[in-house]
Chains A and B, each alone.
Chain A
Amino acid sequence: MKDVQFMILRKENFNGFISQLAKTQKVMAPVAKGNKSFVFEEVTSGDQISLKYIPTVLPPKKFFMPQREPLVEFDQAKGLEMQAIVEQEKMVLFGVHTCDLAGIQCLNMVFSERPKDYNYLTRKYKINIIGLGCNEYCDEHASCNLVNANVPNGGYDLFFSDVGDYFIVHINTHAGDEIIEQTKFFEPIAKENMQDLVNLREKKKNIFKNEIPIESRDIAELFDKSFESPVWEEVGERCLSCGNCTNVCPTCYCFDIIDEVNLDLKSGKRYRKWYSCQLDPFALVAGGENFRKSRAARQKHRYYRKFKYPVSKFSRFFCTGCGRCTRTCMAGISLKETLNNLIKERVNKLWIKWL
C-alpha cells in the first residue's frame, strides 16, 4: 500500500488542475447563477467554479438518479422487442459538500439493497467524487451538525480542505490517486501543512454547533412519540403540496414509471421520473381510496422518511441537514422550525405530566 494519504494543491494551480481533468472527462462543479443560487454543471476551468457556495438548487443526486431516465426501450414493430437500457457518462463531481456526500451515501444504500438497481449502480461506478469541506455555515437553514454531516464521513475519492492559500487533499481511493497522478499539480504535504488542517478542524468545531436542542440519538424517540402531534396539522395547513421540498432533497428518491411512444406509435421508452409523496395522487388507488389524503399526513410522511423509517431500516438519518427544503419552500415551512416545535411540544407534555 502506498503511504500517501494527503497532498496539497496550491490555489494558483487550481485552474490548471480543473482544465487538465476536463480534458479526459466531464467535470461537474458548483457554478454561481446569481441571486444566491448555484447549480452543479459542466465546467472546463477552475475559474468557473464557486468555491464558496451554498447548497446547489438540485443536489448531486441528479447525476446518480436523473430526473427522468429511460429504463426500457421497446419496439412493437419487431415483435415486441424490449431492451433494458441505462444512460451513463464518465464524470468527476468536484466540490461536493459533506452534506451532499451523506446524501449520495443514502441513495447508495437504497439502490444497492436487493433487489439491486442496476441503472443506479451502473451510473455510480462511472462517477468519481471530489469532496470540498465547508469552513462556515452556508446559511441559517442548515442543520448538518445535528446529523453529523458537517464533517466528511467517507463517500469521496478525494477531499479538498481549503486552508487559505492552498488545499489539503485527502486521497481516499485508488481512483482518487489516479486523478492526482494524471493531473500532476499536487505536491507532497509537509508537517506545517498538517498543522493547518488541525487548526482548521478546531476552528470548525467552534463554528458548527448542534442547531436543534436535541441529541441525534434521541431523535428516533422524539419521532416515536410525535405521530399524533398537532405540529403536523400546522405544517399541513401551510403546505401547498407543490413537491419542491422533495425534488431538491438529496435523499428523496420516490419515483413514477411512465411509457412514452415515439411518433411511429410502435417504438418508445419506459421512463423513471422523480415523483413526490407530497402530491395528492401519490397514494391513490383504483377504488378511489387515498391513504394519505391530507397535506398534514403527507408532510408527516416526509419527515418520518427522514428521521424515523430509514433509521430502522438503514441505521441512518435520511436528512443531511442541507437546508434545501427550507430554502425552496414557498410556504415558508422550515425543517429546523418543525423539529423545534416537535421538541417544544414534547417538553410541554412532560411538564404537564410533572405538574
Chain B
Amino acid sequence: MDKVAIKDSKYIPKKAQIIKVTQMTPHEKFFHLVLEGGESLDHEPGQFIMVSVVGVGEVPVSVCSSPSRRGSFDLCVRAVGKVTRSLHKLEAGDVIGVRGPYGVGFPIRILEGNDLLIVAGGLGIAPLRSLINYVLDNRRDFGNVHILLGCKSPNDMLFVDELGEWQKRMDVHYECTVDNAAPDWAGNVGLITTLLPGVDIEPERTFAVVVGPPVMYKFVIKELLAKNIPERQILVSFERHMKCGMGKCGRCQIQGIYCCQDGPVFNYEKIKDLSEAF
C-alpha cells in the first residue's frame, strides 16, 4: 500500500490561533480566533465550521461572530464531551484546526428590508449572535428588530455585556427571560413562549428566526403561527450529528435532506412535514 500526500483533500484543516478565551458561564467559553496569515473566514451568518483539536477529534461549531467584523472570528463552546472539553483546556496562543465554513446560513438578502423577530433559546444565541451583529452593523438595511432570549437561569446567560448593549440601543427591542432564578432577580421568569404574546409585530413583514434546543421549536413555532407569521417567514437552525460537513458521512441526514449542506438553517415551510425533523 502506498501512502501519498494529496493537495486537494477537503479534509485538511486550516490553522487558527486563539487570541483570547473568556469563561462566560460555568459551561461555556468564548474563543476569539484568527486564521493563519490573517485570511478571512468568509462565512455567512448561521454557517458552521468543523473545529479540530488535533489528536482528539473534530466537531461542528457555529461561527458566532458577524462576517462584517473581518479578520477574526468567534466561537462559543459548551463543554459537553471529549473534543469540547479539550477545547476548554486551550489558551490564548494555542492553535486549532478549522474546516469550512459549511452549510446554508440565514438568508440575509431575503431578510433585508423586513422586520426581524429573533428568538434564541440557550446556546441558540451562538449562531444568532452572528446574525444579530450583522444586522446591527447594517442596521439601516433592516426594519424593526426584536430579540427575545430565553435561558435556564441568570448564571447561564451568554454574552452578558452585549445583551446589555442591545438593551440600551434605541433601534432594538430586546427582552429576556429565565426558567428559574433566585428571588433577587429583577427580570422575567418563565419560558420563552411567555414573551411572545407581548411582542407587537406586523406579521406580513416579519421574519422570525428561531434557534434553540429541539423542545423549544414546537412551542415557539406554535406561538409564531398564532401571531399570523406566515410559515415561509419562519426560519430555524438544526443541530445534528455531523462528521464531514460535506454531504457524505450521512450522519446529519433528515430523510433526503443533509443538514450540513441543505441547512443548518431551514425555512419552516419546507421542512414542517418532515418526520424526524423536530
| Residues of chain A whose beta carbon lies under 8 Å from any beta carbon of chain B | 70-72, 74, 76, 80, 82-89, 110-111, 113, 115-119, 122, 227, 253-259, 261, 265-266, 268, 270, 275, 277, 281-287, 289, 291-292, 297, 301, 304-305, 308-309, 312-313
Contact = CB atoms under 8 A, between A and B. Distances in A.
B3 A89 contact: no
A275 B256 CA distance: 18
B249 A82 contact: no
A110 B248 contact: yes
B241 A283 contact: yes
Interface stretch (B54-62, B133-141, B177-185): B54-62
Nearest to A252: B250
A275 B7 CA distance: 26
Contact of A259 (B54, B246, B251, B256): B54
B8 interface: yes
A117 B255 contact: no
A256 B81 CA distance: 16
B110 interface: no
B10 A309 contact: no
Nearest to A84: B9
Interface stretch (B11-19, B149-157, B189-197): B11-19
Contact of A88 (B1, B8, B253, B256): B1
Contact of B5 (A84, A113, A291): A84
Contacts of A268: 55
A308 B256 contact: yes
Nearest to A262: B55
Interface string B262-278: 00000000000001100
Nearest to B10: A115
B80 A71 contact: no
B6 A86 contact: yes
B161 interface: no
Contacts of B112: none
A254 B239 contact: no
Interface of B: 1-13, 15, 52, 54-58, 78, 80-81, 84, 95, 97, 213-214, 239-241, 243-244, 246-251, 253-256, 275-276
Q: Is the interface of A mostly helix, strand, loop or mixed?
A: mixed
Given A85-B4, A116-B10, A80 B249 contact: no
A117 B97 contact: no
A292 B52 CA distance: 26
A294 B157 CA distance: 34
Contact of A117 (B95, B248, B254): B248
B57 A89 contact: no
A281 B251 CA distance: 10
Given A110-B248, A253-B250, A291 B240 contact: yes
Given A85-B6, A286-B78, 16 more contacts: A71-B11, A72-B12, A74-B55, A76-B54, A89-B1, A116-B10, A117-B10, A117-B248, A122-B4, A255-B250, A256-B249, A256-B251, A265-B55, A291-B240, A304-B255, A308-B256
Given A87-B1, A261-B55, A118 B6 contact: yes
Contacts of B255: 304, 309
Nearest to A255: B249
A91 to B, nearest CB: 10
A87 B200 CA distance: 60
A36 B67 CA distance: 60
Given A84-B9, A88-B4, A286 B81 contact: yes
Contacts of B84: 286
A82 B1 contact: no
Contacts of A287: 213-214, 239
B3 A227 contact: no
Contacts of A227: 275
A88 B6 CA distance: 11
Q: Which of A115, A118, A227: most chain B Cβ within 10 A?
A: A115
A276 to B, nearest CB: 10
B243 A257 contact: yes
Contacts of A309: 253, 255-256
A270 B58 CA distance: 9
